Amino acid sequence: MNITGLLFLFCFLPFSLVIYYIADKKAKEYVLLAISLCFYSLCSLRYLVLFILTMIVNIVIGRSISLADRNYLKRLLLIIGIAINAGILINYKYTNFIIGTFHSLSGENIPLYDTLLPMGISFFTFKAISYIADIYCGRAKLSANPVHDALYLSIFTQIQSGPLSRYNDLVFPGEYTGVRNARFALFSDGVFRFLIGFNKKILIADILSKITTEVFTTPVENYSMVYAWFGSICYSLQLFFDFAGYSDMAIGLSEMFGYKCNENFNFPYMTESVSKFWRRWHISLSEWFRDYVYIPLGGSRNKNRLLVYRNLFVVWLLTGIWHGASWNFVFWGMGYFVMICFERITKYPEKFKHKISKILYRVFSLIFINCQWIMFRSDSFVDGCRFIKKLFVMDNIGISIADYRAWFLFKDNLVFILAAVLLSFPVVKAIGKKLEGHPLLSGMYEVLINVIVLALFICALTFVVAEKNNPFTYANF
């Protein structure tokens, strides 16, 4: 069941909200847990038992760590917990990758593992590891009721593709507000945020996906430089609005049920450098690797600089592997490792004194990120390299058929492409801030934005009814 689908929008979500809000305060967590398990069963019934058993095992291990009075016992339970979660992830996500790599090296023909990925397995695994790690380190303030732990691990608003919240972030609504108006304000903010994410996904990401699907399925030898740049930029925009749209919807859904959720994107294409890009893109994943891999390895505190770069290497190797079980994802992660090391060594762009230098480096960073998304989207490392080559090497002089096709696609989708570029920057937010000193204009602007968002939502629904919406890209991870 897709959260942009009609079944979810007009059946599952309204019914869930009604039974949740009519339930007694003490029963709300139980109701939301039941809703979450129901959602999982509708999306991935085949793995429901595995999901529940894994959740129970993690809760038992986490609670056992909190009760253990010996450090060696706590450490043993932590290692067991991480091994179980990592083992499940490796088994379902990386077995075929390992078999394929072994086959390539040895030549032995080993049958591949025929299975489907459990829904949200990468995100569930990372949340489970953070849960037991935070208990081990004393960062998690455990609730008296283990149901709260189960809800944290399974809450349906975050189970598909995050954000990767922490245990302490999931605060029971009654614990942070008892004011009715405050609860209503959070609910209405959640609805608005959900609609924004829905519009991003359906009206921008899914429209751009038609362009990028055509480009990436066209043989590379038929590309022109213009066609390659056009397709790659559209994919960079598509991926952002697809995942940022999902994150907005997930945050909105969480707020509808009274739970606050941390931001996952902060206009990443406004970045000044490659390093800062990852402080704006998929923020919860970057923070997860920082807190549970980079810092435990020693982070930047090591006096030996080589150890710092070793830590960065491990983080970006794991980041690449986490995103996908193929070598192009490994090289994708290594590309970021090289660039971040380069920026650490050179101190760019902070070292630049002139504004023009900073602007040029910002352009360079965006070009690098765009090339990285090509590698991310390509079926193999070789295909990615061939595509990137087309960006910078002109094979033929003059206008080709591919140039005409790029121009046709651009004209045919002009409104959506311009909207994507414009909304990649905080234009709406900036105008609202400018009007803050004028209450009347500010109020009118807010009403106008709400009307536009609602009108666009109705328009987006027609696309869903016509079955022109696509699955979320990050659902594959």
Task: Flag whether pLDDT at 185 surpasses 90.
Answer: no
Q: Quick: pLDDT tens for 55-105.
A: 999 999 999 999 998 999 999 999 999 999 999 999 999 988 888 887 777
What band does 418 get if pLDDT is binned at 50, 70 and 90?
A: very high
Residue 155: which residues within 8 A CB-CB, separation 6 or more? Answer: 32, 36, 170, 254, 259
Q: Quick: pLDDT tens for 382-415.
A: 999 999 999 998 877 667 889 899 999 999 999 9
Residue 334: which residues within 8 A CB-CB, separation 6 or more? Answer: 316, 317, 320
Which pLDDT does position 79 carry in this prediction? 96
Catalytic pick among 103, 148, 282, 323: 323
Place of tokens 């009118």: 444
What band does 437 get if pLDDT is binned at 50, 70 and 90?
A: confident
Q: Quick: pLDDT tens for 244-259.
A: 999 999 999 999 999 9
Q: Where are the domains of the chain?
A: 6-170, 186-273+348-476
Across 231-238, average pLDDT:
97
Across 419-427, average pLDDT:
95
pTM of the model: 0.93
Q: Quick: pLDDT tens for 281-329.
A: 999 999 999 999 999 999 988 888 899 999 999 999 999 999 988 899 9
Q: Phi and psi at residue 282, in whole multiples of 5°?
A: 45, 60
Task: Flag whether pLDDT at 113 surpasses 90.
Answer: no
Per the annotation, the verdict on 148 as an active-site residue is no
- What is the SS3 string spanning the chain? CCCCCHHHHHHHHHHHHHHHHHCCHHHHHHHHHHHHHHHHHHHHHHHHHHHHHHHHHHHHHHHHHHHCCCHHHHHHHHHHHHHHHHHHHHHHHHHHHHHHHHHHHHCCCCCCCCCCCCCCHHHHHHHHHHHHHHHHHCCCCCCCCHHHHHHHHHCCCCCCCCCCCCHHHCCCHHHHCCCHHHHHHHHHHHHHHHHHHHHHHHHHHHHHHHHHHHHHHCCHHHCCHHHHHHHHHHHHHHHHHHHHHHHHHHHHHHHHCCCCCCCCCCCHHHCCCHHHHCCCCCHHHHHHHHHHHHCCCCCCCCCCHHHHHHHHHHHHHHHHHHHCCCHHHHHHHHHHHHHHHHHHHHCCCCCCCCHHHHHHHHHHHHHHHHHHHHHHHCCCHHHHHHHHHHHHCCCCCCCCHHHHHHHHHHHHCHHHHHHHHHHCCCHHHHHHHHCCCCHHHHHHHHHHHHHHHHHHHHHHHHHHHCCCCCCCHHHHC
What band does 115 get if pLDDT is binned at 50, 70 and 90?
A: confident
Residue 146, amino acid: P
Across 190-203, average pLDDT:
96
Nearest-5° angle of CA 376, CA 216, CA 98?
Answer: 45
Please give the structure tokens belonging to residue 171: 């605060």
Which pLDDT does position 476 carry in this prediction? 57
What band does 175 get if pLDDT is binned at 50, 70 and 90?
A: low
Distance CA 77, CA 318 (A): 23
Distance CA 314, CA 15 (A): 45
The dihedral region occupied by 260, where left means phi > 0, alpha psi between -120 and 50, and beta the remainder, is beta
What band does 117 get if pLDDT is binned at 50, 70 and 90?
A: confident
